[in-house]
Chain A
Amino acid sequence: MPSLIDLMQEGRTIQQHSPWPRAVADAHLWNFAASELAQGRWSLLGLWGEPSTVHMAIIDRDTADIAVVSLDCPDRVYPSVGKYHPPALRLERTINDLFGLFAQDLPDSRPWLDQNRWSVRFPLGDRISALSTTAPYRFLAAEGDGLHQIAVGPVHAGIIEPGHFRFTASGETVVRLEQRLGYTHKGIEGLMRGASVERGAQLAGRVSGDSTVAYAYAFSKAVEAALQLAVPDRAVWLRALLAELERLANHLGDIGAICNDASFGLMQAHCNVLREDVLRAANTAFGHRLMRDVIVPGGLVRDLDENGQAAIRATLDNIPVRFPALVELYDNTASLQDRTVGTGVVTAALAKQYAAGGYVGRASGRAFDTRRAPGYPPYDDLRFEVPVLDEGDVNARVWIRIREVEQSLSLANQILDRLPGGPLRVPVGAAAGPREGMALVEGFRGDIMVWLRLDGGRIDRCHLRDPSWFQWPLLEAAIEDNIVADFPLCNKSFNCSYSGQDL
C-alpha cells in the first residue's frame, strides 16, 4: 500500500506549491486516491475546482501528511470521488455549479449553491446564460404510512442565518432531515479572482463573521506560504492570542445558547455576560470587538499595548472566577441533562468518515486538531490538551466546548506571559510568476483550509473551505430518530456556518 508521499511521486509535481506537495495526476491515480479515502486510511480535506482542473486535498490519518492531487479535465468531466466517498458529494455538486465541471457517475447531480437566480451559469467557468425555467428542487424521498413533511426556512424564527430544512416526521420523530443551503452565497471566490492580496484578506475575513480571525489567519498564512515569507515572532504569537480570544467568545456564547434551546435561559444570561466581556477586552486591545481586519498577510496591523494587555488579563482572570459555577450548574441540573444527554448522536464512524473537525469531531472520538498536527507556531511551543469524548451527543459537544474554554484561557495566559517583542509586520512583495500556497488553521468550529495561487501580486484563484462542509451532513444523521423539538438543540450544538459553507 503506497503512502500519500509515494502516491505524489507518481504524479507530476508542481514546484511552486508550498508548504505541502501538489502533483498533477491521471484519472487512474485520482481514482486510487478516491478509493483510499473510501477505505478510511486517508481523510478528505477539500475538493475544489478551476476552469478546467479539479483539486483534492488529502490528509493521512496516521502521519498527518498532507498533499494536493490535481486532475486536468479538458473535457469538462472527471471521475467522481463522491461515488465512493460521500463527504465529497456536496463539494462536487458545487464544482459543477461554479465551474461546469461534471463528476462522472455522481450519485446526486442536483445543484447545490446555484438556485438559478444568478442570471449566469458556471460563473467561475464558461459563464453561460441561466436556464430560462427553474425546475423545482427535488427533495429526497421518505415514504411510509403517516409521514408528514415540515418545511423550515430560509427565514427562521430566531436571529440566525438563512437556510432551508426539510423534515419528514412520523408523529414527533424525525425520519429524515434534508438541508438545502446556498442562500447566503455571495460569490466570494469569484470576487477573489484578480483581487489584490489586501482585498483578499478583507474578503477572507468576511467569509464567516464568527470566524473572522481564523479566516484572516488562514488566508494570511496561505499567502505567506506562497511567497515563502517569514512573519515576525511577535505577530506569530499575537495571531494565536486573537484566535484563542475568538474561540473563547464563541464557545461561551454557544454553551449558553445550547442551554437556552433546552429552555434554560439562566445559563445563557450568564454565559453571554462572559462573552461580552471577552468582546469588550478585544475591542480595547485591538480596536474591534470581533477583531476584524487585524490579521493581514505579513503580520498584524495593530499592536497590543499595555492598556490592551490589562483588559485581556482582567477578562482572563474573571472567567475562572465565574465560569466554574456555571459548569456546575450545567452538570447538576437534571432537566437540562435530560435534554442534552443521548440527544443528537454522531457515531465515531461517521465523524471519522467525514473527517469532522472541531468539537463535532472531538465529541465523537476524532482527536484531530490542526494546532497539534500538522501543527503550526506558536502552538508547538505551548502547553495545551485536545479534549476528546466518545459519546457524540449534544452533552459531549457541550463538554468539549467547556474543556476548550479552559484550554483557551490557559493558552491566552501563556501567550501573554511570553509575548516576544520586535516588529509586527513585514512587507508583502509581489513575486514574479505563479506561486501557490496553502494553510490549515484551527478555527473555533474546526479546521479552516485556504488554498490560493498568486500571480504577480494578484490572486489568480483562492479557495476557502469551511469546517462546516463536513459537519452539516452529520447534523442530518444526528437528528434521525430524535424529536422535532430537539432540532434547535442539536443544531445549536453543531452551530455550523451557513455563510462559510455558502461562501
Chain B
Amino acid sequence: MRKLLFQSFFQGPFTEPAPALDPTAVEELAAALQRAARRRLGRSLSIREIDAGSCNGCELEIHALNNAYYDVERFGIRFVASPRHADVLMVTGPVTKNMRDALERTYHATPDPKWVVAVGDCARDGGCFAGSYAVVGGVSQVVPVDLHIPGCPPPPVTILQGLLALLDRTAKDATSIA
C-alpha cells in the first residue's frame, strides 16, 4: 500500500478540468429557482439520490461522478445518506407505481429550501416505459421538478454540467442580493 500511496505523490492527478456550462440548463434553472432560497444555499450542494424505478443505468453514471476524473466533491457537491441532510433530491427512473409513495415521502422528508433534479430520459416523461400499467411517468407527476438532465443515461459530464449550473446560479444570486 505504501508503494501505491508513494506513487501518487509523483503521478499527476486524474482529475480533469470542469466542463463548461450548458446554456439550456442554466435557462431552465433561472426560471425555476427562487431568489431568496438561492441565497441560503451558498456554494455547496448536498444531494440525496433516489432511484424511483430506473434500470440502474443512471445510478452507474451518477456513481461515476465520485471517481477521480470528475471528483465532484471539489465543487462542494456531495452525496448524503439521508434526505434530512439534503438540499437537492436527485431522482431517476420512470417513477414506478410501487415507488411513488416512497418518493413522495422522501421529498417531504427533505427540508426547505430544496430542489429536485430529475436525471435521465425516463425521469422526464417515463421514457420507453411510459404507458405501462406499473409506471406513473415522469418525476414531475409526483413531485415538482426544478431541472431535467436528459440522456439514457446522461454521461457524468452532462450531469456535472447541470449541477454546476445550479451552483452557478445560486452563487451569483447570493452575491447580487448580499
Interface residues of A (CB under 8 A from B): 115, 117-120, 123, 154-155, 157-162, 182-188, 190-191, 199, 202-203, 206-210, 212, 253, 266, 269-270, 272-273, 275-276, 279, 283, 289-290, 292, 325-326, 329, 332-333, 497-499
Expressed in whole angstroms, the Cα–Cα distance for A273 and B133 within the complex equals: 40
Contact of B57 among A187, A209, A253, A275 (CB under 8 A): A209
**B56 contacts A183, C-beta separation under 8 Å:** no
Interface flag for B31 (CB, 8 Å): no
Expressed in whole angstroms, the Cα–Cα distance for A270 and B50 within the complex equals: 26
Contact of B82 among A157, A162, A498 (CB under 8 A): A157
**B56 contacts A190, C-beta separation under 8 Å:** no
Q: Which residues of B contact A499 (CB under 8 A)?
A: 53-56
Expressed in whole angstroms, the Cα–Cα distance for A289 and B69 within the complex equals: 15
Expressed in whole angstroms, the Cα–Cα distance for A325 and B4 within the complex equals: 8
Contact of B98 among A120, A185, A208, A289 (CB under 8 A): A185
**A185 contacts B55, C-beta separation under 8 Å:** no
Task: Classify the interface of chain B: helix, strand, loop or mixed.
Answer: mixed
**B51 contacts A272, C-beta separation under 8 Å:** no
**How far apart are A57's CB and chain B's nearest CB, in angstroms?**
24
**How far apart are A136's CB and chain B's nearest CB, in angstroms?**
14
**A209 contacts B81, C-beta separation under 8 Å:** no
Interface flag for B146 (CB, 8 Å): no
Interface flag for B49 (CB, 8 Å): yes
**A206 contacts B4, C-beta separation under 8 Å:** no
Q: Which residues of B contact A283 (CB under 8 A)?
A: 155
Q: Which residues of A contact B52 (CB under 8 A)?
A: 162
Q: Which residues of B contact A266 (CB under 8 A)?
A: 1, 4-5
**B155 contacts A184, C-beta separation under 8 Å:** no
**B128 contacts A118, C-beta separation under 8 Å:** no
Contact of A209 among B59, B132, B133, B155 (CB under 8 A): B59
Complex interface residues of chain B between 123 and 152 (CB less than 8 A to chain A) = 127-129, 131-135, 152
**B4 contacts A209, C-beta separation under 8 Å:** no
Given A157-B82, A202-B128, A209-B58, decide whether A162 and B53 contact each other with a Cβ distance below 8 A. Answer: yes
Given A272-B67, A276-B67, A325-B4, decide whether A187 and B132 contact each other with a Cβ distance below 8 A. Answer: yes
**B96 contacts A186, C-beta separation under 8 Å:** yes
